[in-house]
């Protein structure tokens, strides 16, 4: 599935690449994320707003299973928001299926555009990976079983955590065992032409060096790419093309298109262990 987005009018570009335009009632989904996450925090407990870096929002929440098992998988969650909004509190409701099955979960925050650049956010994700890998054993987790799951811009950041050029000053790059990528954006040139770029402030060079479809992750573990069939065609095409790029690079990649799912409802499916998407993410983490 390819899509010629360059032929679109400015209005159609906005509709195809701005999820808030594509789903006018997006706020009710944001409200549900926050409400369900508050309930999850009350139920599971955790250590909140720990630091992995010096940036104002370089924080994370740590959640451990009630019955720890040595060598547990470590699941890292990365929220979306087009690199310019939302925070980790919109992801907490996705955590219980993992902790209930014995995983340790880290829920990441990161600094947002325009206070920092997208390049800086990618660097923060790399710092986060080094941090959690170094802490994993102390948390009862296996640093060789790090599974990263992201939604929307968080899916892009999860892929970049593995695929982006690795900074020498961070030492050896820790291994990521799998990626779970939910309704992501992977080729960034279209973002240059829509209103959200007023906040993100990409230029052509920055968009190119962060377009992970052009240098997909090469990894031993699997990648699960997902989108909803109610999302705009151009947005779905981002996932399809990235999935194929991973396969072309020799990475084992599976693809799930959620029936009836839009950019925001797919996140509920990903958090539901009884849904095919939620179940597939758990299996990929070794929890089914």
Task: Please provide the DSSP assignment of 176-232 as one string.
Answer: --EEEEES-----GGGGGSTTHHHH---HHHHHHT-GGGS----SS-EEEEEETTS-
Q: Can you give the pLDDT at residue 279?
A: 98
Q: Can you give the pLDDT at residue 97?
A: 97
**pLDDT, averaged across the chain:** 96
Question: Rounded to 5 degrees, what are φ and ψ at 160?
Answer: -65, -30
pLDDT in tens, 64-74: 998 888 899 99
Q: Can you give the pLDDT at residue 244?
A: 97
What is the C-alpha separation between 183 and 239, in angstroms, rounded?
A: 7
Q: Where are the domains of the chain?
A: 5-284
> Is the pLDDT confidence value at 23 over 90?
no
Cα 185 from chain centroid?
Answer: 10
Q: In angstroms, what CA-CA distances link 22 with 12, 104, 234, 258? A: 10, 35, 11, 16
Mean pLDDT, to the nearest integer, of 178-184?
A: 98
Q: Can you give the pLDDT at residue 99?
A: 97
Task: Give the residue ranges of DSSP H helices in the chain.
Answer: 10-17, 19-22, 26-44, 96-99, 118-135, 153-163, 197-200, 204-209, 233-248, 265-270, 276-284
Q: Can you give the pLDDT at residue 242?
A: 98
pLDDT in tens, 32-54: 999 999 999 999 999 999 999 99
Q: Can you give the pLDDT at residue 2?
A: 67
pLDDT in tens, 216-247: 999 999 999 999 999 999 999 999 999 999 99
> Is the pLDDT confidence value at 146 over 70?
yes
Mean pLDDT, to the nearest integer, of 181-196?
A: 97
pLDDT in tens, 114-140: 999 999 999 999 999 999 999 999 999
What is the C-alpha separation between 151 and 27, in angstroms, rounded?
A: 17
Q: Which residue has the tokens 């959690």?
A: 132
Report yes or no: 51 and 33 within 8 Å, Cβ to Cβ.
Answer: no
Q: Rg for the chain (alpha carbons), in Å?
A: 17
Q: In this structure, are strands 141-151 and 72-78 parallel, antiparallel, or unpaired?
A: parallel
Q: Can you give the pLDDT at residue 168?
A: 98
Q: Name which CATH class applies to 5-284.
A: alpha beta
Confidence of residue 100 (pLDDT cuts 50, 70, 90): very high
Query: 16 CB contacts (<8 Å, ≥6 apart)?
Result: 3, 5, 8, 22, 190, 232, 233, 234, 235
What is the C-alpha separation between 219 and 145, in angstroms, rounded?
A: 13
> Is the pLDDT confidence value at 1 over 70?
no
């Amino acid at each position: 599935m390819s899509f010629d987005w360059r032929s679109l009018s400015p209005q159609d570009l906005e509709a195809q690449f701005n999820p808030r335009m594509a789903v006018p009632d997006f706020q009710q989904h944001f409200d549900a994320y926050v409400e369900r996450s508050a309930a999850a925090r009350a139920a599971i407990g955790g250590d909140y707003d720990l630091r992995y870096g010096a940036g104002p929002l370089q924080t994370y929440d740590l959640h451990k299973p009630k019955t720890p098992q040595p060598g547990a998988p470590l699941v890292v969650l990365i929220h979306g928001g087009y690199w310019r909004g939302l925070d980790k509190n919109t992801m907490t409701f996705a955590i219980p299926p993992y902790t209930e099955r014995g995983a340790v979960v880290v829920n990441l925050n990161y600094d947002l555009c325009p206070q920092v650049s997208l390049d800086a956010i990618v660097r923060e994700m790399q710092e986060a990976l080094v941090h959690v890998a170094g802490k994993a054993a102390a948390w009862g987790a296996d640093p060789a079983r790090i599974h990263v799951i992201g939604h929307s811009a968080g899916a892009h950041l999860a892929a970049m955590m593995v695929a982006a050029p690795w900074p020498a000053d961070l030492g050896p790059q820790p291994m990521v065992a799998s990626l779970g990528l939910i309704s992501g954006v992977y080729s960034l040139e279209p973002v240059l032409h829509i209103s959200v770029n007023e906040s993100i402030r990409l230029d052509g060079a920055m968009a190119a060096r962060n377009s992970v479809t052009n240098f997909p992750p090469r990894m031993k573990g699997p990648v699960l790419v997902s989108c909803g069939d109610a999302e705009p065609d151009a947005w779905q095409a981002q996932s399809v093309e990235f999935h194929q790029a991973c396969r072309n690079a020799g990475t084992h990649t599976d693809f799930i298109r959620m029936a009836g799912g839009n950019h925001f409802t797919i996140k509920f499916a990903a958090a539901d262990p009884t849904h095919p998407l939620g179940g597939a993410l758990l299996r990929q983490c070794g929890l089914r």
